[in-house]
Amino acid sequence: MPSLFHVRFLAFFLVIFGSVVFLVLGAIGAPGWYVAAIVCLMLTLLGIYDLIQERHSIKRNYPVIGNMRFLLEFIRPEMRQYFIESDTDTLPFSRAQRSIVYQRAKQQIDKRPFGTIENVYREDYEWVNHSMVPSHIPDRNFRILVGQGQCSQPYDISVFNISAMSFGALSANAIRALNRGAKAGGFAHDTGEGGISKYHLEEGGDLIWNIGSGYFGCRDENGHFSESAFAKKATLPNVKMIEIKLSQGAKPGHGGILPGAKVTPEIAEVRGVTPGVDCDSPSAHSAFSTPVELLQFVRRLRELSGGKPVGFKLCVGHPWEWFAIVKAMLETDITPDFIVVDGSEGGTGAAPVEFVDHMGVPLKEALRMVHNALIGAGLRERIKIGASGKIISAFDMLRTLALGADWCNSARGFMFSIGCIQAQACHTDKCPSGVATQDPSRQRAVVVPDKADRVRHFHRNSIEALAELLQAAGLTHPQQLRAHHVVRRVSSAEVKLLSAIYPELEKGDLLQGKYRLRIFEICWPLAQAHSFLPARSIDRVASQINMGYQNIDTPNGQGEPANAVSSP
């Protein structure tokens, strides 16, 4: 055994020595020293344990004092957040972003003195060009009608709503506060794929029922979709729209299992599963397997819900898979009432690090791809588009709407409004603010009436801020926004309108073979309505696929490609 007489064991020796000294001092007539002796004895026992344990090398080499390393590592996120992080560090949301939510939720002053803290000459800085003739907007209750023309119960949705977050991921009090705030503010609350709980219903707010691959709340005993169970809940008056979740920004293409230990009787009742048994959320749906079957499923849900708007949510991946859905729409003449595009930067749900950082298409490119494909196929007027992914401020909303969305959803923004401090402990059941936990003693920190008011205030003040931006730009409604209203610095000496960075197709372009953009030239012909697989091997064309918005060099200037891939 190595010698213990080494400087790295100094702390261990000092607590042993202290134990002896303080015991002697206590024995000779000063009982108060026994307290110090007890502390030193406990540290001595800790040191002995450090020496004999085999898990941590640091503690074996540095008994007692080595535990400081783990303590400091444990509080590192808080130390960084409060003392080191700058106002503009975005990990994942900056202090400035969080502050604007807190201020608007609490009805505090959200103005900033002494100029911007942004570096306006950095690459990727964005702004809105204002007008010399600002507008005046008397009615700021911006809404979009979803389902008009093919639904007997279309829904007039706000341009800003609560994105998908399940009961189970969020606490009961958090769900109550969000839903009560949505009710008071007149906007929608997405249930998340965990199903419709009693906490979603008791406050009376409008719901978008999110149905994932686990079919929670509308499944049979084998985990398959149940029409009768679906119809029972879809016809509830609180449920305004149905959203099929194909994939989510946090972990697209990844399923999940809620361990049986966490499947409480309450969560089991909401999801329609067995308490104490692992709850599986597969990576793919069992109710359909092709683009055409997906659209037939959309039509069936619309019928079963009594004519409510039905759509789907996806994080875009392989472009030909999305284009396959569009081709299926053209072949069947079945269209969803809406599509929600979830950027890969989104994600309240915990996910593998590789999925969080490197899986899926970010919101700007994905949204523009969805918007353009619908325009090129002549379907955009029939389908509304929602968007989610790190949307916090009114400028975030404006840019997203300018790129093609009809409305915006925010998850983490509304979490901040009810007290989330970005502790990033959502998956541990130890959320310090009581928002993302099922621990009754922790979630009692969320006082529902107070937090519901903050939800309502955050929504209203964000909409007010959006209206002020629109007025300054000379516009009167978010639907007037176009990509040319937003400008981006692409280098220290060059700025471009977003319309130049993300060009837009013209109505019917794809039907006429006018692809205009490289992504459509290569990937549109690969798509097929009856399968998500490409029509042919992509090996030959993979090197030509550009997920950005590269224009096609054409010989005739009409947007027809010189080297288009032939249709299958």
Euclidean distance between CA atoms 279 and 284, whole angstroms: 15
> Quick one: which of 306, 287, 378 has its CA closest to 155?
306
> What's the one-letter identity of residue 311?
G
In this structure, what token pair is assigned to residue 497? 């309108």
Euclidean distance between CA atoms 338 and 386, whole angstroms: 7
- Segment 351-360, tens digit of pLDDT: 777 887 888 8
- Segment 62-103, tens digit of pLDDT: 899 989 888 887 777 667 666 666 666 666 888 888 889 989
Is the pLDDT assigned to residue 134 strictly greater than 60? yes
Task: Give the pLDDT band (50/70/90) at residue 507.
Answer: very high
What is the topology classification, in CATH, of domain 138-254+288-423+449-491? TIM Barrel (3.20.20)
> Quick one: which of 332, 322, 410, 407 has its CA closest to 372?
322
Is the pLDDT assigned to residue 18 strictly greater than 60? yes
Is the pLDDT assigned to residue 563 strictly greater than 70? no
Neighbours of 11 (CB within 10 A): 18
What is the predicted pLDDT for the residue at 553? 53
Q: How many helices (H) and strands (E) does the chain have?
A: 20, 15
Does residue 349 come out as left (phi exceeding 0), alpha (psi in the -120 to 50 range) or beta? beta
Is the pLDDT assigned to residue 482 strictly greater than 90? yes
Euclidean distance between CA atoms 401 and 252, whole angstroms: 23
Displacement of CA 469 from its chain's centroid (Å)? 24
Task: Give the pLDDT band (50/70/90) at residue 537.
Answer: confident
What is the predicted pLDDT for the residue at 61? 86
What is the predicted pLDDT for the residue at 88? 63
- Segment 269-293, tens digit of pLDDT: 888 888 888 777 888 999 999 999 9
For the chain, give every domain's residue range: 7-76, 138-254+288-423+449-491
The three-point CA angle 245-248-101 to 5° equals 115
Neighbours of 149 (CB within 10 A): 10
What is the predicted pLDDT for the residue at 116? 84
What is the predicted pLDDT for the residue at 238? 97
- Segment 206-262, tens digit of pLDDT: 999 999 999 999 999 888 999 999 999 999 999 999 999 999 877 777 777 666 766
pLDDT mean over 303-310: 98
The angle that helices 95-105 and 448-472 make with each other, rounded to 10 degrees, is 110
- Segment 388-412, tens digit of pLDDT: 999 999 999 999 999 999 999 999 9
List 326's β-bridge partners, or say none. Answer: none
Percent of the chain with pLDDT over 70: 91
Is the pLDDT assigned to residue 1 strictly greater than 50? no
| Nearby residues of 304 by Cβ (< 8 Å), 6 or more positions away | 227, 230, 231, 234
Contact 564, 519 (CB under 8 A): no
Euclidean distance between CA atoms 419 and 241, whole angstroms: 28
What is the predicted pLDDT for the residue at 557? 37
Euclidean distance between CA atoms 216 and 229, whole angstroms: 10
In this structure, what token pair is assigned to residue 247? 């994939």
Is the pLDDT assigned to residue 548 strictly greater than 70? no
Q: Report, in angstroms and rounded to the nearest whole number, the Rg of the chain calculated over CA atoms.
A: 28
Is the pLDDT assigned to residue 422 strictly greater than 90? no
Is the pLDDT assigned to residue 458 strictly greater than 60? yes
